[in-house]
Amino acid sequence: MSFDFDSFDDDSLPTSDRWNPRSASRALAHKRRKPKKTAGQILAELAEAPHVAEDLLEFTYQPARHEAIWLRESLQPFFDQALIEDVLALVKGGKEANVYLCRATPPLGTPYLAAKVYRPRQFRNLRNDQLYREGRELLTSLGVPIKNRDTREMRAIRNKTSYGAELTHISWLMYEYLTLQRLYELGAAVPRPFSAADNALLMAFIGDVQQPAPVLHGQTLPPEKADQLFHAVLSNVELMLQHGLIHGDLSAYNILYWEQTITLIDFPQVTLSEGNHNAYALLHRDLQRVCEYFAQQGVHQNASALTAQLWKQYVRTAPNQTLSDGYGSA
């Protein structure tokens, strides 16, 4: 894993390479002090002024030029909410998002946070979200569903405008955030969520300053540990199902392994067990992938039998049917 904190260490950067927003802003303020302006002029200028540099987030991590603007814009809300004060390193670049290690502000009582920043739309490799979207209402950036199907927003989505694509993206991200929130409150093994903005979400960082938690894939487990962790994953799948949810992209790649425990991540495609015709197939796929990994670790389970059993226990609809089909028994 390319996570070398030494290379992101403040002191290891040549001073000339380090852009310090605070001193830059002071230099700028000094230059601007010349002509006298009326109070009205000053107020009008202030109202129009973009963020003054004093209000900017620190960047120990040096983003590439194309990454810098996007990153700054995406993370600024968390700085404005006094949640983070520095971006320290890139943890991992994924297909849809990059995850960054941030320094949390002291009052949070935790040294680090992970910020998942979704890529700009044109560089994003979105999963086939149609598969998961059935039964899910569209969520605004406040996490509120858009109920009326005839709103400007719904028309934009139907007509596939770029505004519509942006709304779909925000909804996708809000599902990830709200699912984390709900599951965290229920006691599931997920990172604690802290905040969400239009293009990023902030959560507990799993790992330590030397190393982020690795994913389960590629880890070799001792037999007694393997059995215990399999049941830990299964009980999280069960807890989700009890609350009508299916991860939808669960595998050993979306489970972190740290200090002998597992943490489930990556929830934007969360699927409603009773609202989506693909729900049974998605649950089956999730369990199959989990079982495949654990079979390599000596834990042999039958994914099809598990799917059937969990479905019977927790889901009121028949497989391939939804509550809106009117087949629910409750």
Ligand X SMILES: Nc1ncnc2c1ncn2[C@@H]1O[C@H](COP(=O)(O)OP(=O)(O)OP(=O)(O)O)[C@@H](O)[C@H]1O
Which residues contact ligand X by CB under 6 A? Answer: 91-92, 94-97, 99, 114, 116, 191, 203-207, 212-213, 215, 254, 265-266
- Report which of 233, 117, 245, 232 is spatially closest to residue 175, judged by C-alpha positions: 245
Q: Which is nearer to Mg ion, 164 or 193 (CB)?
A: 193
In the complex, minimum distance from the CB of residue 39 to ligand X, in angstroms, rounded to a whole number: 48
Contacts with Mg ion in 258-317 (CB under 5 A)? 266
Following DSSP, what letter does each residue of 161-186 receive, concatenated?
A: -HHHHHHHHHHHHHHHHHHHHHHHHT
Tell me which DSSP letter residue 215 carries: B
**Piece of the chain touching Mg ion by CB under 5 A; list 35-43, 199-207, 252-260, 318-326:** 252-260
Closer CB to ligand X, 169 or 310, in the complex = 169
Query: Rounded CA gap, 104 and 113, in Å?
Result: 6
Contact partner at residue 96 from ligand X, Mg ion, none, CB < 5 to 8 Å by partner kind: ligand X
Instruction: Name the minimum Å distance from CB 115 to ligand X.
Output: 9
Question: What residue type is assigned to position 44 of the chain?
Answer: A
CB of 92 to Mg ion, least distance (A): 9
Q: How far is the CB of 210 from ligand X (least distance, A)?
A: 13
**Angle at alpha carbon of residue 75, lines to 71 and 80, rounded to 5°:** 145
For Mg ion, the binding residue among 254, 269, 276, 307 (CB under 5 A) is: 254
Distance from C-alpha of 308 to C-alpha of 275, rounded to nearest angstrom: 18
| Rounded Cα–Cα distance for residues 179 and 168 (Å) | 16
Residue 235 burial (CB count, 10 A): 12
Decide whether 191 or 244 has the Cβ nearer to ligand X.
191
Binding letters toward Mg ion, positions 19-58, x by CB under 5 A? ----------------------------------------
Residue whose CB is less far from Mg ion, 63 or 94: 94
The least CB distance from residue 298 to ligand X, in Å, is 24
Strand stretches in the chain, DSSP E: 58-59, 84-93, 97-104, 112-118, 193-196, 200-204, 207-208, 211-212, 245-246, 255-258, 261-264, 271-272
Size of the site for Mg ion (CB under 5 A): 2
Nearer to ligand X, 97 or 310 (CB): 97
Residue with token string 């799993």: 206
Instruction: Give me the least distance between CB of 254 and Mg ion, in Å please.
Output: 5
The secondary structure of residue 140, as a DSSP letter, is -
CB of 206 to ligand X, least distance (A): 4
- Contacting residues toward Mg ion, per CB under 5 A: 254, 266
